[in-house]
Each structure stands twice: as C-alpha cells, then as structure tokens.
Amino acid sequence: MQPLKEYFMSSDTITIPGLDRPVSRVALGTWAIGGWMWGGPDDDNAIRTIHRAIDEGVNLIDTAPVYGFGHSEDVIGRALEGRRDKVAVATKVGLNWKDEKPFRDSTPARIRKEVEDSLRRLRTDVIDLYQVHWPDPKTPIAETAETLAALQKEGKVRALGVSNYSIADIETFRAHAPLSVVQPPYNLFERDIERDLLPFMIEHDMVGLAYGPLCRGLLAGRMTKDTTFPKDDLRSGDPKFQKPRFDHYLAAVDGFRAIAARHDKSLMALAIRWVLDQGPMIALWGARKPEQIDGVRDVFGWSLTDEDKSEIDAILARDVPDPVGPEFMAPPVRD
C-alpha cells in the first residue's frame, strides 16, 4: 500500500481516512468567530466569512464547543443551512467550563453530552471529524477512545482525531479506536512536532491538521513594533508578543516577506504553503471577516524550493535563536 502522503494527497486536497471525499488542504479555523478571547462575536460578518470561504473552495471547517462556549458552533450551524453537503465539519470534545473558565474533561459522560450539544448547535445529524481537544490526565485514554469508537459505530461521527496529544497518548488511543487526524500547533515559529510527532504521523498514515499556522496573526504581515493588544486578546498573554521578543519575531517576518516576494506571493501564502510542504498536512486559516479570506487561492499551485527552506531556517537561527512555544494556551486539569 502506498503511503498516505502519495496516495491520498495532492497539492490542493487530501483524503482523511473515514471520509468519503477529499477535503481542501486549507481549512477554515473558527476560534475567533466564537468571540471568546478575540474581542467578542460579530455574527453577521462570521456568516459571510463562512460563505466566502466555501465560495473560495474551502470545504473543511474546524470548530470546538469552547470557542465562545457553543457560539462558534451555533454560528456555523446557521451559516451551513442549505450548504451542509458542501463541507466537512470538524469539531472537538473534551473541554468543560465553569464561569467561562475551561478545564479538561474527557470522561465518557462528558463526551456523550458534548456530542449531542454539538450536533444540535451545528444543525446536523453527523460530525465528519470529531477530535479530543486536549488530553485529560484524570480520565484513562482507553475510556475516551472507546467512547468515541462507540459514537463512530452509532453513526454520530465519521472520523476521529486528537489534538495536543503526545506520541505515547496517541499509541494508547490507537489501541482502542481508529485514529485519522492529529491536530498539533505548527507554524514557522512553532516547530516542535518535527522532532518526533510529524515523522510518526507520516509513518502511520495520519493526516495533520495544523492549528496556528499564522502564529496568531504574527505571520499575517500586518503587525509592527507599535502593535498592542487589549487585555481580553489572547496575544496579550503570549510571550511572543511581549517586548523585546516581539521585535525579534518581527525581524524574522521581514525576512520571510522577502522570500514570499520572490514568488510573487503574500507572507500569509508563504506561511501556509510552508506548512503544507512539510507532509500530509492541512492548515487552519483563521478568519472572522470576509476580507480575511482573501489570499487563500494563492496557497495552491506552487511549492517552496529547497533553497527557500534553507533560507527560512537561517533567518530563524539569526533572528529567533530562543523560540517559545504555544504552551501558554494549555487549559488546566479539572479539580
């Protein structure tokens, strides 16, 4: 059997095991659409954004209950009325919350409640890709996996995935349920998965769904040294966006921009293309306004050269010799 990266993947689409049709290698990420930690919701613009993404050929939408505590899923459900057959919907499970403070909870009871809530909010009878959002160290992974496998047999979900799991956790999960997708953080600045997780995914024919490929807007190319963030913005707590480290990252961004210009592409297109060129990956393109979908088509139909990749590595070594990861985003374990 050919490896997934050759058999299931083209420049523009990839097949997720368990789904009956290919999906675009750029998916719409909808954390910001939920509003929480992104300055509040804007539903009219959110619905127009979803429609614009579909019109641009994006046929995979990724969300989660915790994105606005159900609000993102609800908006997606409304936006997809009459269009549900055009897209695959991916959502998540395994986070609970109290007073808008999330914590990990992958117990069978929580999963059973969440899947029904998500189906209702998304206004659908099946979830195409159901992913465990974060590992829950207080619940055996076997219990979580077996519950999800049961949902798959019941026809409530089609394919299964995990996010933020270690290789050891993934191995345990795979012993109890089929696993199609791994969703890790991955971008030009956050590359930890290259050490072991990415080779493991390729070896075991799993698709990667990279979150944060634009590194929370840092690789969108619009920030300057004077850019600031309000207290309710996620980036106000991200070490990358604090002085003097912020200036170092922006220097690297300028270097990347020059490489993109040689290909007559935007910085965003380069950042996403780089992720896709690393293996069987899908990149999440986060947006909450229709104009933020502009440029998606520029991701397809080309690749970075080996020289480009070497230059990128040199820029990182020069400007960001001490990179930081996305660990600040990890939710706490439940009491």
Cα separation, 99 vs 42, in Å, equals 21
22-38: average pLDDT? 81
Residue 226 in any domain: the answer is: no
With a cut of 80, say whether residue 308 has pLDDT above it: yes
Residue 228 in any domain: the answer is: no
Task: Pull the structure tokens for residue 169.
Answer: 């956790």
Q: How many domains does the chain have?
A: 1
The whole-number pLDDT of residue 221 equals: 87
197-205: average pLDDT? 95
Task: Pull the structure tokens for residue 244.
Answer: 């003097």
Residue 297 in any domain: the answer is: yes
Q: Considering only 39-48, 60-69, 182-191, 248-257, which range has the smallest mean pLDDT?
A: 39-48
Tell me if 252 sits within 8 A of 316, measured CB to CB: yes
With a cut of 80, say whether residue 111 has pLDDT above it: yes
User: Among 7, 67, 165, 186, which one carries the catalytic annotation?
Assistant: 67
Going by C-alpha positions, the residue among 18, 136, 24, 122 that lies closest to residue 70 is: 122
Q: What is the CA radius of gyration of the chain?
A: 19
Residue 331 in any domain: the answer is: no
Residue 182 β-bridge partners: 162, 208
Question: Domain span at residue 53?
Answer: 4-220+269-302
Residue 314 in any domain: the answer is: no
Residue 318 in any domain: the answer is: no
The whole-number pLDDT of residue 1 equals: 36
The set of residues, in sequence order, having a beta carbon less than 8 Å from that of 107 and lying 6+ positions away, is: 136, 139, 143, 144
State pLDDT tens for residues 144-158: 999 999 999 999 999
Residue 261 in any domain: the answer is: no
Task: Pull the structure tokens for residue 222.
Answer: 């619009």
Residue 113 in any domain: the answer is: yes
CATH number at 192 reads 3.20.20.100
State pLDDT tens for residues 66-85: 888 888 999 999 999 999 99
- The model's confidence at residue 332, banded by pLDDT at 50, 70 and 90, is confident
67 is a catalytic site residue: yes
**What is the β-pairing status of strands 23-24 and 13-14?**
antiparallel
What's the pTM value of the predicted model, to 2 decimals? 0.90
